[in-house]
Every structure is written in C-alpha cells, then in structure tokens.
Structure 1
C-alpha cells in the first residue's frame, strides 16, 4: 500500500483523487493546506483524518510514503525537494518546475534520496498518446507537426474586470506557455526529442502576462508549430503530417479520437479505450514506478535502481523546460525563480 498526501486543495486535486480512487494500492492518507481550517475541510470531504498546515511536519511524517503536488507553479520545486529529502516519492503537476535549473535540482535530489519523481503530464500516459506513438511509422517520413491547445480561461473575464487571480499572475511562474503551451511542448519532445532551432512569438496582456503564443521548431527533416492560448478558443484538431499519411488528433492535451488519412484517399480510425478521467494513467504509472523501486531496494538489487529513478519520463520533462526556457528568454518572460 502506498500512502499519499496531497499538497493543494483545488479542482485539479479533486480530479486526481477521483482517478486515484480506482487504484486499490494507492490510498489518500493526508491533506496539506496553508491553513489548518482549509486542510480540515478538504480532509473531511475526502474522509481523511490526518491534516497538516506545515510542510516540514508533512515531510517528517512516517505515515506518508508519497505526495501529489498541485500547488502554484512557483512552489513546485521547493516543495518537491523538501519531500524527496525526507524520502517521499513525488508526483508533481505540470509544469514540474519554473525552469530547467530548478528541475535539475529536483532530479539530483530524487537520485540522491532514491525516490521516484514524476511530472503529472497526464496526456502522455494515456492510451491515446500510446496510439499516436505507435502510428508514427505508418505516416512515412514526417514533415510537419501542428499541435494546438487554445482555451479561453474561466478566469479571463475577471482579469478584464481588473481582478488579477493567480492564473494570470506572472510572478507565480505563470504564463500561457507554462499553463497551456506545456501540453503541446511535452508531447512534441516525447515523440521527437529536442529541435535544432526555436523561434517564438507571444501576445501579452496589460499586466505583462503572456496570454497566447506560437512556437516554430525546426528539426533536421521536419518542422513543428505549437499554438497555445488562454484568451481564445480553438476547435481545430492537432496533426502530424507524413509523406504517406496524416494523423489527426482531436485534442493533444487529451487524445481520445485519432484519424489516419492516407494519400490514396482512404481513412482509418484507431480504436482507443474511452476514459472520463485520463489522470488515472499518470497515477497508475507513479504507483508502478514506486512498486518497482521498492522491490529493487528490498531485494538489494542495486543494478536497476538508477534506471528506475532516471526513468524516461524525466528526460521529456527536462527537454520541455529547456524549450520553454528558450521561448521565455526570446519573449522576455521572466519569473522570480529565474534569479
């Protein structure tokens, strides 16, 4: 049994707990919030008795094996590092860190303390994304990739009324790139790795917040275009264009419907299992990695431990942040965490 705590008591945590409830060996045992009253309220809602308003006390607790972190972006690195220093496994919401430097510190801490660190980039753990990966050879030589995620934020109307909430506060390591664009960047590097060059363009709001952007990435034999926005909606699918066929993807942030269009005119629709909450796959992978690591430690099988901790998911997280650091540098999107 893996006993876990949540850091962050918001709607994304609600959705994660719904997904985690499907895993019999993964049990919510504690809640942290900055105020004890909020922690108690959220714990009661989820039938949990153990509550914390101190991160240090949570880190010290011997009743917790792992944490799910869904706090504001700028908190991710410090909170993750503290928990891993106390031998807690960490599943951290996207983006896993404010920048690549923070991520490297997190990565080093995971290795030093022999714990699992994983970014909760839910889309790449899903059957839909596995299907995308498996279909790449069918497309022939890939020439163009177009990933788009544009969603009018539920908080944008408040912003236009002069109410600046956390989602539009750049000092919290927020930007459209970090909040929305990451859903395009991470799948791209998971599939194709690091590009040779990066060009970008952004739209800024009155308080300096990046509201939308476009990134053009050049690979040796292909180009990729990423479009993201928190201030407008897009209804077009994403796509991967090959010389033999094109793959249409309904939603790159949650791929559930794929269409193959071949040059001879015929189409195919690969079957993907329907799921109402794709966070179940990231939770299941987190549990799998922890179980494998614990088995290796119990068996004193040191050969496999480094590879389990340096798992391939972290490579994509590293490349994701390197690309976003480059875009932010080009667009002069600076966070306090960068200094």
Structure 2
C-alpha cells in the first residue's frame, strides 16, 4: 500500500482522498495543516492518520511515501521541493507552479532525488477524454476548436463585497487562467501539443488577477480558442471541428459526455463510456501505476512544462503579475 499524506484540508483534498482509497492502492497515513486543530477536525472521518503542523517533521516522517499537495498555488512549488528533497514522492495540484522557472526546478529536484513528481490534472486520465483523443483521427483534418470552461465563482460575491479571497488574490498566484482556465489550456496541449503562436486577452480585476479571458493557440492549419471565466457561467460544450465531422465534449474538466457528428448529418452519436463518479479516481490510479513501476510518464512531464511556460506567457500578455515572479523558490 502507498502511504499517503495530504497538505491542505479542503474539499478537493477530501475528493482526492476518497478517490485514492477507492483504488485500493493507498492508505491515508498523515494530514498536515498549519493548525493541529484543523488537521484533527479534517481527519475525524478517516482511520486515525497522524497529524502534523510542521512541514519539516512531515517531510522526515517514515509514515509517508507520497505527499498530495493542495495548498494555495503559490505554495505548491516550495512545498513540493521541500518534500522531494526529503525523499518523498509528490502529487501536486494544478497548476503545479506559479512560474515556468519554478516548474523546471521542481522536475530537476525530482530527478536529483529519484522521486516522482506528478501534476494532478485529472482530465487526460478520464475514459471519455481518452476516447476524445482516439477519435480525433476520425473527423478528418482539424480546422478549428473551442475549449471552454466558464463558471461563476462562489468566492466572487465576497470579492465584490470588498473581501480578498485567495481565488482572486495575486499573492496566492491565482486568477481565472491559473484555475479553471488551466483545464482549457492543458487539454489543448494534451490533444494538440505545443502551439506555434499564442495570443491572449483578459479582463483584469482591481486585485491584479484576471477574472476572465480568452486565448488563441495557433497550430499548422488550424487554431484553438480557449474561453475561461470565473465571473460568468457558460452552458456551451467544447468542440473540435474537422473537415469530416466534429466532436463535442460536455465539461472539458471531467469529460462528462462525448458526441460525434459526421459531416452532412445533424444527428450526433453518443460515444460516452461509463466513468467513476469521482473524476479524480483515474489520476490516483495513474500515479499508483507510476509509483508501483518506479517510472514517471515523460509525456505528462513535458505537458506540465509546456503548460507552465504558456501560463507565464499568457500572464505576460495580459498583465497579470505575481510577487513570486521575482524568485524561483526558497532554497
């Protein structure tokens, strides 16, 4: 069994723990929070994990093989590096780092310490997303794509009321492109690889982060438009258009439904397959596979690095700056 520790006591941590335990490959052995009281409260639903409020003690604990990091974005890199330097494998929530330089350093540290570093981007491991990727060759030459994820944030009213939630705070390396926009960008890279050109536009909030935006990725013979927002909802599916047909995906992050249209017909064929109710199940299974085989997936590593580079370029074009841009990590 993989001895799992978690950093972060929020709903996404709960969802990952549930997914990992469901695989039968993990046991939850440790919970970290800055407050032992919070760690204890969070851990009550689980079977007696050890509680930590000191990262160094956690990193040195023999109770832990792998650390899942779901802290604020700005802490992902420094915490992952500290864990890996102590010999722990790391699953880090997306986005893995606040900058390309930090993402590169993280993979260097993983290699130097002979540990796995895995970005918890769940989409490509989902059965319906895998079907989408396989079906691309069946719609002819790709000519256009729209990948969209727009969802009114539950924290946005707090921001409008004058509060400063992490979701819209540059101190925590946040904003729309770093959150739900990540799914659009990473999905595009997973499907089509690194683009030739990038053009980005965003609506900036007074806090300095983007509340919404759009990106055009240029490829040979086609373009991919990314649409993301935390200030409004969208009910449109993502769509990939080829000369012989089109593929539609409901909710790109979880690939809820996949439909194929053939040119000349207005009747779509449902290609969806059954998926687990917890979409994180498949990424937990993928990491367990890598852990058990003591081998990382190079394509996942390269995708993570490309995405980190493009996130930085998009922020540069749209004027989103983070305090951490001036440093790589705390060494």
Q: Could you tell me whether the CA contact under 8 Å between 1:99 and 1:321 is conserved in 2?
A: yes
DSSP-derived class of the 1:309 partner: coil
Specify whether residues 271 and 176 from structure 1 end up closer, same or farther in structure 2 by C-alpha distance, changes over 3 A only. Answer: closer
Displaced runs of 4+ in structure 1, greater than 3 A? Answer: none
Q: Distance in 2 between matches of 1:20 and 1:229?
A: 30
Name which of structure 1's ranges 41-50 and 324-333 shifts more when overlaid on structure 2.
Answer: 41-50
Q: Which consecutive residues of structure 2, in runs of 5 or more, have no partner in the other structure?
A: 327-331
Q: Which residue number in structure 2 is paired with residue 162 of structure 1?
A: 162
Q: Could you tell me whether the CA contact under 8 Å between 1:110 and 1:309 is conserved in 2?
A: no
Q: Which residue number in structure 1 is paired with residue 149 of structure 2?
A: 149
Q: Which consecutive residues of structure 1, in runs of 5 or more, have no partner in the other structure?
A: 294-307
Q: Distance in 2 between matches of 1:175 and 1:246?
A: 31
Q: Which residue number in structure 1 is paired with residue 234 of structure 2?
A: 234
Q: Could you tell me whether the CA contact under 8 Å between 1:111 and 1:309 is conserved in 2?
A: no
Q: Which residue number in structure 2 is paired with residue 309 of structure 1?
A: 296
Deviation by residue 1:7-34 (Cα, 9 ceiling, x = unmatched): 0000111111111121222110000001
Deviation by residue 1:70-119 (Cα, 9 ceiling, x = unmatched): 00000000111111111111111010111111100110011111111111
Q: Distance in 2 between matches of 1:118 and 1:314?
A: 8
Q: Which residue number in structure 1 is paired with residue 251 of structure 2?
A: 251
Matches within 5 A, 1:17-32: 17-32=17-32
Q: Which residue number in structure 2 is paired with residue 267 of structure 1?
A: 268
Q: Could you tell me whether the CA contact under 8 Å between 2:259 and 2:269 is conserved in 1?
A: yes
Name which of structure 1's ranges 237-246 and 329-338 shifts more when overlaid on structure 2.
Answer: 329-338
Q: Which residue number in structure 2 is paired with residue 215 of structure 1?
A: 215
Alpha-carbon offset, residue 48 of structure 1? 2.4
DSSP-derived class of the 1:189 partner: helix
Q: Distance in 1 between matches of 2:239 and 2:5?
A: 38
Q: Once superposed, what is the RMSD of the aligned Cα atoms?
A: 1.1
Q: Which residue number in structure 2 is paired with residue 176 of structure 1?
A: 176
Q: Could you tell me whether the CA contact under 8 Å between 2:259 and 2:272 is conserved in 1?
A: no
Q: Could you tell me whether the CA contact under 8 Å between 1:114 and 1:309 is conserved in 2?
A: no
Q: Distance in 2 between matches of 1:49 and 1:6?
A: 10
Calculate the TM-score normalised by the size of structure 1.
0.94
Q: Distance in 1 between matches of 2:309 and 2:49?
A: 40
Name which of structure 1's ranges 67-76 and 267-276 shifts more when overlaid on structure 2.
Answer: 267-276
2:291 maps to 1:290? yes
Calculate the TM-score normalised by the size of structure 2.
0.96
Alpha-carbon offset, residue 271 of structure 1? 3.3
Q: Which residue number in structure 1 is paired with residue 321 of structure 2?
A: 334
The count of corresponding residues between Structure 1 and Structure 2 is 325
Q: Which residue number in structure 1 is paired with residue 131 of structure 2?
A: 131
Alpha-carbon offset, residue 310 of structure 1? 5.6
